[in-house]
Amino acid sequence: MKFSGLILSALFFIVACGPRELDPDPASDCSNCESWNQPQDPFRIYGNTWYVGTAGLSSLLIEGAEGLILIDGGLTQSAALIDSNIRAAGFDPLNIKAILVSHPHFDHAGGVAALQRLTRATVYTSVEGAKVLSTGELQSDDPQFLSGPEHTGFPAIRNVVAIGDREVVSIGGVDVTAVYTPGHTPGSTSWTWESCALDTCYDVVYADSLTAVSAEGYRFVDGPAADQLIESAGTIADLDCDILLSPHPFFFGMQDKLEIRGEGNPFVNNVACMIYAETSLDWLQQRLQAEGR
């Protein structure tokens, strides 16, 4: 009996310590969720930087010598696609040591909880963003707050580290700098790092959203978000920026660029951040004019 008990204990230990698999959360439901979550084959953007997100929601993988960094997790239902894309690109998700979040909305942070449970990685975001990630509920100063938690909530995330403006997350020889760019949300954060290949290095900017999008009833003319967006646009325009990426791939023309990759690397464009900032200011001006400013 004692021998049988030892065998059963050993089998339980083997099962408990077996390969970890993704444990997804219930799917998010929104008007754009299905189109945002269409599959996208993973691909190398440049050097150590890979696209592993969906067709409509960006998720990036940065390859380090001693670990991987993941940026953003899409919707809750995007986590499975991201996990699959990481593996298809030749990487083991269990080597992810850090997950960085741009802004705490359900379409970019929704899949982070499941991906963190799988990888056991530490999650990093801004001070304001950490408050939201830890609860899964928007705070009242978010322009989209009035939509209600049933539309904007997402699974709460454990082990969230709040990182300051211009502070650095270092994993496996890769240094990624947090740049506060509030406005779209109070906790919006852009991320920058250097990517090298064949002795040529480029500055990559994952510029967070600068769109003046809100819940019905919110007025940008009445709160701080408009001024924050103007300042954040200036911050992004001033960054060293050779490759622009952003949380929604259509903002950096991903599909158009993929169609012309045979003509060189279309993702390299040292004025893309300035154009991104100027376009965002144009949209904001239209919103403010619509509100009577």
- CA 32 – CA 20 distance, rounded (Å): 31
- The C-alpha angle 80, 82, 120, rounded to 5 degrees, equals 85
Other beta carbons within 10 angstroms of residue 38's beta carbon come to: 11
What sign has the CA pseudo-torsion 220, 222, 224, 226?
A: positive
3 state DSSP class of 109: helix
- DSSP letter string, 171-198: ETTEEEEEEE--SSSTT-EEEEEEEEET
- CA 69 – CA 106 distance, rounded (Å): 20
- CA 130 – CA 163 distance, rounded (Å): 9
Residues ≥6 apart with Cβ < 8 Å to 102: 71, 72, 108, 125, 188, 189, 190, 191, 206, 208, 209, 247
Q: Which residues are catalytic?
A: 103, 105, 107-108, 184, 218, 248
